[in-house]
Structure 1
Amino acid sequence: MTKSPFRHLRLRDAGTLLGLLLIGGVFAVLTPVFLTAPNLLNILQQSSINACIALGMTLVIISGGIDLSVGPVAALSAVVGAALMVGGAPIAVAVLAALGVGMLCGLMNGVLITLGGLQPFIVTLGGLSLYRALALIFTGGTPIFGLPDGFRALTNGTLLGVPNPVVVVAVLALLAWVVLNKTPLGEYLMAVGGNAEAARISGVPVTLTKLAAYMISGALAAVAALILLGRLGAAEPTMGNLWELDAIAAAAIGGASLMGGRGSIIGTLVGCIILGALRNGLTLMNVQAFYQLLATGIIIIVAMLIDRATAGKEGH
């Protein structure tokens, strides 16, 4: 009975991978630098921030929700963590505090959605403004400089030649895949996203499942913020602008249904690399940034059309 959805996901993953190969082939012809090892590693590293956000977004989308507040959550987490590090707190304490802020924001979103009975779009849209304002108030609107060298060395280092952010994303993706495919929480997320009322009648803890999804999304937004924090060497209260757009795009490209109940961790990762490769290739060709934003918007619309076209076939 459960074979058909997994078969469908594997088909979508293969189609997404084919799209990545097609994009890679086009840019390989247009610019010879594209397929060089340093540039491919650069694409993976540049995609790592979006991948962190998109993994959490995928779980939220599968549960039938959406999280538009991930960018400001990342900014708030970053400024709190940076302030602690600059103030002399141990790096581990600052990192845990940043993760805690992200999870707390996710918990607030989840509580308003589940216990408050509000729509995820409205709650997280309000959170987008609220958390951004808190980040700006906390810093007075100015960046926080002076991060310790040890933190920057950790985030900008490599493991066997692979940038640490890429390693972090690989570990997080593996954990997310295990959660989604091998644990009760993954089954609950699918069930709640497919039909929340039926899931509740079947004994699924709907409220706790949604809370978990939003808290994971907040925590992964904080991880993305820490990666960018180490790269920039400063915490900007305005960081994370339009991160939610990229994350939703990656999840949609990877086969996640924005109606809930379906998604793929592998597909989301490939979707992130597609966006990263597209922007990298366009940059190498000296295409202006607003055309890259246009391409992202078109990709989201096309992914939604594909999802709409395939949704009706799932029941057969």
Structure 2
Amino acid sequence: MMKAETARRPNLFDKAGLEIFEFVKENLGILIGFIALCVGLSIISPAFLTEENILNILRQVSTNANLALGMTLVIIICGIDLSVGSVVALSGTVAGGLIAFSHVPIPIAVFTGILAGTLAGAFNGVMVAYSGIPAFIVTLAMLNIARGAAYVYTGGQPIRVMNEAFNAIGAGYLGPVPLPVIYSFLFLLITAAILNSSKLGRHIYAIGGNKEAARFTGIKIKRVEIFVYTFSGFMAAFSGVVLAARMFSGQPTVGNGFELDAIAAVVLGGTSMMGGVGKIGGTLLGVLVIGVLNNGLNLLNINSFWQLIIKGVVILAAVYVDMMKKRKEAAN
């Protein structure tokens, strides 16, 4: 009897293998595209596969990874957050200004910068939950408010921050790995735990799948919406402070178009703009594709204006594929 029970006991390696198989199956298209992109760039540019460039890619994608994690939750509930790029600028300038102008202790300056962006996200959530104004309009308004506040606070000029302890937050390393990559990895684990292993995660999926049905089951929809937008604001705020530390300055112009890259990564990773569908593993793949694409275009000296066009086409294609997939599922 003991042997039979032991034989039926789940094997951790079998479970991990099954999860990997499911992940590959769900993301086969983007995986093939990512591998093809890497192989093509390694052939065209010998600099692509160097250790220095790989670390550079990981450092560069860390900001987009943070924004995309928050954006994944927002899009799963069938929302959108267009304000993340401006929140990055606001939080970075607030933290940098407090250190450079007011000589505030670094922990307080970092906390205040993150708090400013988190409150912007919370405001988005409250407005979406209680005002009835579409998320597109609310976050578009916050895009302008946060950007304008960053310009007003700095007078439209970058704030130079030459403080070793602060700069180490964004430019430091843990062994050979840049600290921003470590932060993103930790946030990846936290966000995956929220979506996959918590009651809150189940509620997020339920709201995105069918909001009215979720309401009838007793889910506190407004609370979930406020959390999701607050979380997105926090991720943007944290990224803004780290980016300011990395650039040795708080810049009111930073973050333009960051929301575009975040949305592109999330949609490429299989999160549906219709809501209710999306996984963090797919988002990570989307982030890497966007990061490698940006890096490859830079290595090939492609004009930045053309880069915008290419990323726009990528988003359009990803949304179109998602819509076709939804229609096929509905037909079946």
TM-score range, shorter chain: over 0.9
Are 2:241 and 1:226 aligned?
Answer: yes
Q: TM-score, normalised by structure 1?
A: 0.94
Q: Which residue of 2 aligns with 1:202?
A: 217
Q: Which residue of 2 aligns with 1:69?
A: 83
Q: Is the 8 A contact 1:103 1:219 kept in 2?
A: yes
Q: Which residue of 1 aligns with 2:208?
A: 193
Deviations 1:98-132 (A, max 9, x none): 22111100111111111001100011111111111
Q: Which residue of 2 aligns with 1:243?
A: 258
- Return the alpha-carbon distance in structure 1 between the equivalents of residues 284 and 108 of structure 2: 29
- Return the alpha-carbon distance in structure 2 between the equivalents of residues 281 and 78 of structure 1: 27
Q: Which residue of 2 aligns with 1:46?
A: 60
Deviations 1:50-107 (A, max 9, x none): 1111111111001110000111111111111112222222222112112211110011
Q: SS of the counterpart of 2:95?
A: helix
Q: Is the 8 A contact 2:169 2:246 kept in 1?
A: no
- Return the alpha-carbon distance in structure 1 between the equivalents of residues 313 and 23 of structure 2: 22
Among 121, 128, 140, the residue aligned to 1:106: 121
Q: 1:9 to 1:127 in 2, by over 3 A?
A: farther
Q: Is the 8 A contact 2:92 2:242 kept in 1?
A: no
- Return the alpha-carbon distance in structure 2 between the equivalents of residues 113 and 225 of structure 1: 23
Aligned-residue offset at 1:165: 0.6
Relative contact order, CA 8 A, sep 6+: which one is greater?
Answer: 1
Larger Rg: 2
- Return the alpha-carbon distance in structure 2 between the equivalents of residues 253 and 32 of structure 1: 27
Among 117, 135, 160, the residue aligned to 2:150: 135
Deviations 1:124-178 (A, max 9, x none): 1111111111111122222211342111123211112111111110110111001
Aligned-residue offset at 1:11: 3.1
What amino acid maps onto 2:215 in structure 1?
R
Q: Which residue of 2 aligns with 1:151?
A: 166
What amino acid maps onto 2:77 in structure 1?
S
Q: Which residue of 1 aligns with 2:313?
A: 298
Single out whichever of 208-217 and 125-134 deviates more from structure 2. Answer: 125-134
- Return the alpha-carbon distance in structure 1 between the equivalents of residues 161 and 22 of structure 2: 49
- Return the alpha-carbon distance in structure 2 between the equivalents of residues 167 and 103 of structure 1: 21
Single out whichever of 284-293 and 110-119 deviates more from structure 2. Answer: 284-293
Q: Is the 8 A contact 1:69 1:124 kept in 2?
A: yes
- Provide the alpha-carbon RMSD of the alignment: 1.7
Among 228, 232, 239, the residue aligned to 1:217: 232
Q: TM-score, normalised by structure 2?
A: 0.90
What amino acid maps onto 2:28 in structure 1?
A
What amino acid maps onto 2:39 in structure 1?
G
- 1:3-82 → structure 2 map (5 Å cutoff): 11-82=25-96
Q: Is the 8 A contact 2:81 2:139 kept in 1?
A: yes
What amino acid maps onto 1:292 in structure 2?
Q
- Return the alpha-carbon distance in structure 2 between the equivalents of residues 144 and 160 of structure 1: 29
What amino acid maps onto 1:210 in structure 2?
E
Among 115, 120, 124, the residue aligned to 2:135: 120
Q: Which residue of 2 aligns with 1:263?
A: 278
State the identity %.
42
Aligned-residue offset at 1:43: 0.8
Q: Which residue of 1 aligns with 2:14?
A: none
Q: 1:91 to 1:52 in 2, by over 3 A?
A: same
What amino acid maps onto 1:154 in structure 2?
I
Q: Is the 8 A contact 1:82 1:147 kept in 2?
A: no
